[in-house]
Amino acid sequence: MKSVHFLMIPSAHVLDLAGPLQVIHSIGEIGAGTVDVRCIGPEVSVGAFQPLTLTDIRPLPHTLPPDSVLFIVGSKLTPALMRSSAWRKAVDWLAQLGRDRPDGLRICGVCTGTFLLADAGLLDGRLCTTHHRFIARLRAASPKTTVLENRVFVEDGDLLTSAGVTSGIDLALHLVAQAFGEDVAIQVARENVVNFRRFGADPELSAATRYRAHGNQRIHAVQDAIATQLGGRVTIDELAAQAGLSERHLARLFLAETGVSIKQYQIALRMDLARRLMTSSRLSLENIAATCGYGSVQAFRANWNKHERLPPSLLRRGGGAPRSDAQNPHSQAMTPR
């Protein structure tokens, strides 16, 4: 993610822009990377739907650099807007971009920004979503598109769409996690005091983010400590001392905030790490067990068999992780609240 562009037209919704823009801009603020961020559009200034004017918008470029991300910011849909020259120029530019697509380009429609994509023919045959009040209207406008409802965001390959307003933040955090790793996404979320969320059938979050939907900074710090010491033996008394709490109070608070115990959280992280190593490295089972904090292969297998349907050898041969019991809503041990 070297370059991120935000396409804006008149009547833009400020939060559709500001939410993802803030998330992307925070990457540099926390020192995680350098991202070239630009706001572009058919007009150099636009009146937002909220009572302010956005200025210094750069012209629509001839093309975008490889591996760019393009956000299409939602606007207040009116007949006048959809007949305007700004709308037509944006649609024509998107259609041309679709025909001469730069390598690695990811296109993200925020809220009603999906209607620009639909008009440009970029949603045909794809999965997408939009603001709940516009689901039926988008289905009528783009009959070749599968429009999903009750979703925060939908990812269909290089096309991502969100339900609008604050869900653009969730979509942006998802992109940050993919590009820079979950640790950076967690830092960005905490920097902006937002939680990771999941609605309906959205893709399952990893253990690293699944139990972060709370605002307790002490528990976040404890979770950070556990995550950075998966290969060692971190004790609850050490964690309690770090948090400035008694062991009993920490255990109660951790369970109340995350929905799982400290031990269950640690195991979930270790299983996630083991799955990644199993499918993306050539480490031996002994090395994987040690990296994940297990004293022996037997101890590792005992935990693995509780949470995985396939043995390690079959998972490695298949090259991908099946749905584990740790992600299964019917699992007793690992079900979050």
- Which tokens is 111 given? 């809220």
pLDDT at 92: 98
* Per-residue pLDDT reduced to its tens digit, 293-334: 988 999 998 888 888 777 877 776 655 434 343 343 333 332
* Per-residue pLDDT reduced to its tens digit, 79-138: 999 999 999 999 999 999 999 999 999 999 999 999 999 999 999 999 999 998 999 999
- The percentage of the chain sitting over the pLDDT mark of 90, rounded to a whole number, equals 63
Note whether 6 and 40 are within 8 A (CB).
yes
pLDDT at 336: 27
Query: Which CATH class, in words, describes the domain spanning 3-191?
Result: alpha beta
Average of per-residue pLDDT values in the chain:
87
* Per-residue pLDDT reduced to its tens digit, 19-50: 999 999 999 999 999 999 999 999 999 999 99
Output DSSP code: residue 143: T
Distance CA 177, CA 188 (A): 10
Instruction: Using pLDDT thresholds of 50, 70 and 90, give the confidence band for residue 146.
Output: very high
Q: Count helices and strands (H / E) in the chain.
A: 15, 10
pTM: 0.73
Mean pLDDT, residues 190-219 taken together = 74
* Per-residue pLDDT reduced to its tens digit, 230-275: 888 888 999 999 999 999 999 999 999 999 999 999 999 998 888 8
pLDDT at 205: 67
Distance CA 153, CA 12 (A): 19
Mean pLDDT, residues 48-72 taken together = 96
pLDDT at 8: 96
Lay out the sheet containing 159-162: strands in order across: 36-40, 3-7, 68-72, 106-110, 159-162, 153-156
pLDDT at 197: 66
Mean pLDDT, residues 177-188 taken together = 91
Is 2 or 335 the better-scoring residue by pLDDT? 2
Cα 168–Cα 69–Cα 277 angle in degrees, nearest 5: 90
Domain ranges of the chain: 3-191, 205-337
Distance CA 134, CA 171 (A): 18
- The CATH homologous superfamily for domain 205-337 is Homeodomain-like (1.10.10.60)
